[in-house]
Structure 1
Amino acid sequence: MGATMQLARVHGPGDVRLDTVAIPEPGPGEAVVRVAACGICGSDLGYIAQGSLGGGPLSEPLAIGHEFAGDVVAVGANVEGVAPGMRVAVNPDDGYIGGGAPEGAMGDFILVRQARIGSTLYPLADHVDYGEAALAEPLSVALHGLRLTDVQPHHKVAVLGAGPIGLCAVAMLRHLGCKDIAIFDRVDTRLERATALGAGLAVNTAQESISDALCRFHGEGDRFGARFAETDVFVDCVGVEAVLQEVIQIAKYKAKIAVIALYKKPATLDLFKLMANEILITGSIADDRKPEFAEALEMVARGEQDLTPMISHRIDFSQFTEALAIARDAEKSAKVMLTFNQEPA
């Protein structure tokens, strides 16, 4: 029997296990990466809770983990510019890593299919921390949504939700040159992290409404007898129907809304307001964001921003169950980063 490792896989609702599987070997066009760091995403927690990707029951266990970085340890034939020892971050999109593929990054090693520089594999400079490199995935999710909404430096922006993607949105808004950034949540510790990342206003919605806070921070006006906030762009990272409804009521003429959040059921919206104020709503699943992935990594490598407020915990993979529990606790955590033993195989 060949060498084995443990891999986190979902078997059913609430049933996630560390299965013993063979360490992969690369075929043509493939590479094997030793995982150094892997972030726990809200989608991972969702897959575990529902026991699937959101459709029907699983036909086979679902490997999870898609926010990761590590070292190339083996390369198959016909892979150009990739060699063992190369430090890389991995864009999971092409192979649906951790989202339907047999491969997931919550294990010591992972097979990367279609191994290509600038597509799936992105080289890391020696000074780049693996954990921060793993943030390229959620950072690029936020950046993709902002690009689709054409956010400009002069825009006044409101971020709805200060979870990991909301925090990434603040970081990428600062990267794009935005300064008038407000963020809303119900967890003070996350709002404190958002302030450290550069948000100019952080409001607990249990204490002040989004509408009142934005009119105070961004200014207000009147259109057709209705009050509006002078906010140019809303970035929905929370996925709560009542919040989106409030935003549409307070949005100004030609405001834009980027929906990055995952809505688990249909939402009821005031389409008259949407029409009368020519509000643009853009959805963003970040399924094709190679330029944004590269841009996020470049930002990390330059040390453009201090991203330490974003990673609340670094927990060894041997404490996988404890890491999941912390990641589920919004009061305690932001991005929980799993770390892996980096001794040679």
Structure 2
Amino acid sequence: MTTTSGIPTTMRAAVLHGPGKLSVENRPVPAPGPGEVLVRVEAVGTCGSDVHYYREGRIGDFVVREPLVLGHEAAGTVVTCGPGTDERRTGRRVSIEPGTPCGSCGECRPGRYNLCPDMRFLATPPVDGAFCEYLAVREEFAHEVPDTLTIEEAALLEPLSVAVWACRKARVAPGDRVLITGAGPIGLVAAQTARAFGAREVLVTDVLPHRLELARAAGATALDVSRTPLSVAEYTPTVLLECSGVPAVSGEAIRTVGRAGRVVLIGMGGSEAPLPVSRVQNYELELTGTFRYAHTWPTAMSLVESGRVRLDSLVSHGYGLAEAESALTVATHDATAVKAVIYPQR
């Protein structure tokens, strides 16, 4: 059933009911509230967090306790506008920034809205995500994208934003030698972003040949650590971007960082990791974590539009909404899987 505006009253959504239990169901199309726009979702990337929730029903303290729609790397077209928004945005293509902060707390006011304690983030329990046909989004977090970007690139501005934020935290600058551990989607876009920020050399480590080849195609040097351990590679970075989330990997990588180097922990893995304290102290290393991003979409969009970052190389598989479960499990049976994209309108 559709309304006089042509917008359906119901939509399909891929709903997680528990570990390994995903079903496509009909739900009401949300009505955009004050300050919101309604987006027809056309592409959604699958993230490692989606896979964690699907497999285990939780990530750390975030636990799926009630049915949850997954997906937060989304893009689409604005189909209607709620009260107090610019109606001229109807028909515009947008990339969705998935976090909605409160805007008034002690973190939001200085601009650190990624650390807002009351953040509502798509596909983070109990907030439903974007594996659905329509999504109501606060207007300022629906970023208009130029026609030169594909809908897949618009969706993947979200993982690119993770890389932009990490490179900013690491203060990557011309002349830096960067080490990136893990050639998953984040590691691959981090390699391109570091080069765009001026790094003179980028080394990416992994154990999967096809991902290492993608790293080489992105202009990085690739190291298969199943053949050559990092400890004997004789590479001394000024910046470490740890993307694997594997505690043992991060400890080994920190030991290679040169004096006054910067270490940024990005990958989500174990809750604790061995820290080579003597290296941190004796070399005066700076070590920090990252949690999502803030104010990154304009930079991410510019990097893609200019050609300095290519996101199309990440997309390895595409699925309709009814195949959402396949998108979440493809990596278990296809070693070449990098990024699966779901097209909710299919």
Tell me which interval the TM-score lies in, with the shorter structure as reference length: 0.7 to 0.9
Pick closer, same or farther for the CA change 1:56–1:184 going to 2, 3 Å: closer
For residue 305 of structure 2, what is the aligned residue in structure 1? 301
Structure 1 residue runs of 5 or longer lacking an equivalent are: 219-228
Pick closer, same or farther for the CA change 1:328–1:134 going to 2, 3 Å: farther
Pick closer, same or farther for the CA change 1:56–1:28 going to 2, 3 Å: closer
1:92 aligns with 2:98: yes
Cα shift at 1:135: 1.1
1:185 aligns with 2:203: no
For residue 289 of structure 1, what is the aligned residue in structure 2? 294
For residue 124 of structure 1, what is the aligned residue in structure 2? 145
Aligned counterpart in structure 1 of residue 30 of structure 2, from 21, 24, 28: 24
Query: Where does 1:273-288 land on structure 2 (aligned, <5 Å)?
Result: 273-286=279-292, 288=293
SS of the residue 2:99 aligns to: coil
Cα shift at 1:9: 2.5
Q: Which moved more, 1:275-284 or 1:101-110?
A: 101-110
For residue 72 of structure 1, what is the aligned residue in structure 2? 78
Aligned counterpart in structure 2 of residue 238 of structure 1, from 227, 244, 250: 244
Q: What's the CA shift string for 1:80-117, capped at 9, x where partnerless?
A: 365221110010111412223543111111111x322x
Cα shift at 1:193: 0.8
Cα shift at 1:327: 3.9
TM-score normalised per structure 2? 0.87
Cα shift at 1:19: 2.6
Residue type of the alignment partner of 1:202: A
Cα shift at 1:205: 0.8
Residue type of the alignment partner of 2:247: E
> Distance in 2 between the 1:246 and 1:145 partners?
20
Query: Where does 1:204-223 land on structure 2 (aligned, <5 Å)?
Result: 204-213=224-233, 215=234, 218=235
SS of the residue 2:318 aligns to: strand
Cα shift at 1:158: 0.7
Residues 259 and 285 of structure 2 are in contact (CA less than 8 Å); yes or no, is this contact kept in structure 1?
yes
> Distance in 2 between the 1:295 and 1:240 partners?
29
How many residues are paired up?
Answer: 321
Cα shift at 1:163: 0.4
Residue type of the alignment partner of 1:187: L
> Distance in 2 between the 1:56 and 1:239 partners?
17
For residue 159 of structure 1, what is the aligned residue in structure 2? 180
For residue 135 of structure 2, what is the aligned residue in structure 1? 110
Pick closer, same or farther for the CA change 1:138–1:306 going to 2, 3 Å: closer
* RMSD over equivalenced CA pairs, Å: 2.0
Identity of aligned residues (%): 32
Residues 133 and 300 of structure 1 are in contact (CA less than 8 Å); yes or no, is this contact kept in structure 2?
no
Cα shift at 1:57: 4.9
For residue 114 of structure 2, what is the aligned residue in structure 1? none
Residue type of the alignment partner of 1:289: A
> Distance in 2 between the 1:300 and 1:56 partners?
32
Q: Which moved more, 1:204-213 or 1:309-318?
A: 309-318
> Distance in 1 between the 2:278 and 2:194 partners?
30
TM-score normalised per structure 1? 0.87
Residues 12 and 57 of structure 1 are in contact (CA less than 8 Å); yes or no, is this contact kept in structure 2?
no
Residues 70 and 88 of structure 1 are in contact (CA less than 8 Å); yes or no, is this contact kept in structure 2?
yes
Query: Where does 1:127-146 land on structure 2 (aligned, <5 Å)?
Result: 127-146=148-167
Residue type of the alignment partner of 2:232: D
> Distance in 2 between the 1:245 and 1:278 partners?
16
Residues 10 and 17 of structure 1 are in contact (CA less than 8 Å); yes or no, is this contact kept in structure 2?
yes
SS of the residue 1:250 aligns to: coil
Residue type of the alignment partner of 2:70: I
For residue 325 of structure 2, what is the aligned residue in structure 1? 321
1:251 aligns with 2:257: yes
Residues 54 and 328 of structure 2 are in contact (CA less than 8 Å); yes or no, is this contact kept in structure 1?
no
Structure 2 residue runs of 5 or longer lacking an equivalent are: 2-7, 101-119
Pick closer, same or farther for the CA change 1:340–1:7 going to 2, 3 Å: closer
> Distance in 2 between the 1:188 and 1:139 partners?
22
Q: What's the CA shift string for 1:155-190, capped at 9, x where partnerless?
A: 000100000110110121122122301000011111
Aligned counterpart in structure 2 of residue 149 of structure 1, from 155, 160, 170: 170
Residue type of the alignment partner of 1:324: L
> Distance in 2 between the 1:280 and 1:56 partners?
28
For residue 192 of structure 2, what is the aligned residue in structure 1? 171
Aligned counterpart in structure 1 of residue 340 of structure 2, from 333, 336, 341: 336
Aligned counterpart in structure 2 of residue 202 of structure 1, from 189, 202, 222: 222
1:310 aligns with 2:310: no
SS of the residue 2:121 aligns to: coil
For residue 108 of structure 2, what is the aligned residue in structure 1? none
